Structure 1
Amino acid sequence: MQQDGDDSGQQARDAERLRALEERLAQAGRDDRLAPPGMDKFAHANQAWRMVIELVAGLGVGFGIGYGLDRALGTTPVLMVLFIFLGFAAGIKTMLRTAAEMGGPPVQAKPGDDPAKDERD
C-alpha cells in the first residue's frame, strides 16, 4: 500500500515537471519580434535593388542638372562634373538611410495585436 501512495505522488510530481518543461519550451520557441509588413523571402533583394536605384538616380539627376547648366551657360563640363559628384554624395546618403531602416529595431505591435502575448503577461 505504501508503494501505491508513492507512485501516485511521483506521477503527480512528474506531471507537474512535464507541464513546467512544456511551458519553458513554448516560451523559448516564441519570437517576440514582429516582421515588418511586406517582408517576404525577396525583401532583402528588393532593398538591395532599391539602394542601387537610389545611387544611380542621384548620379543621373546630378548629370542632368550639370549638363543642362553647362549647355545653358556655355561653360566647359565643370558644372557637370561638380553636379555628378553632388548627385553621387546624395545617392550615398540616401543608400545609408535605407540601410539604417533595414537594420533598425523590429516593429513593435500595438497593444491587443498579439493575443498570445497578452496571455503571457
Structure 2
Amino acid sequence: MSNHRSDEPDPERLAALEKRISEVKRAREPAKPQIEDQMSQANMAWRMVIEMVSGLGIGFGIGYGLDVLLGTQPWLMVLFTLLGLAAGIKVMIRSAQEMQKEAAATAADEEGK
C-alpha cells in the first residue's frame, strides 16, 4: 500500500505540471519584445517624418516672411525651403545615428546577460 492518499496531490505530477507550464511561458515570451520593437520602429519613423516636415515648414515660413517684407517673391521662399530641407535631412541622419547607437548598446547588453 502506498503512503500517498488519493485526496492529496501527487508531488511528482505537480512538479511535472509546473515544468510544462514554465516551458510554455518561456516559449511565449519572445513574442512580446517583437511587438515592442515594431512599435519602437514606428515611433522612430514618425519622428523622422516630423523632423523632415518641420524643417521644410520652418524654411518655407522664414522664406515667405522675408519675401513679403523685402518684396523678392519667390526667391527667398525657394532658398529657405531648400535650406529647411537640408536641415531636416541633417537632423534625420543624426536621429538615425542616435537610434543605431541605442540599438547597438541594447544588443551588447543582451549579449552580456
For Structure 1 versus Structure 2, the TM-score category normalised by the shorter chain is 0.5 to 0.7
Which residue matches 2:80? 83
- What TM-score do you get using the length of structure 2 for normalisation? 0.58
Q: Percent identity?
A: 62
2:48 is matched with which residue: 26, 51, 71?
51
Which whole-Å deviations, capped at 9, do the CAs of 1:30-84 have from their partners, x for residues lacking one? xxxxx9xxx6540000000000010000000000000000001111210000000
Q: CA RMSD in A?
A: 2.2
In the alignment, residue 106 of structure 1 is paired with which amino acid?
A
Whether the 8 Å CA contact 2:64–2:73 is kept in 1: the answer is no
Q: Which has the higher helix share?
A: 2
Aligned to 2:93: 96
Q: What stretches of structure 1 move > 4 A for 4+ residues in a row? A: none
Q: Which has the higher contact order (CA 8 A, sep 6+)?
A: 1
- Show structure 1 runs of 5+ residues with no match: 1-34, 110-116
Normalising by structure 1, what TM-score?
A: 0.55
Size of the alignment, in residue pairs?
74
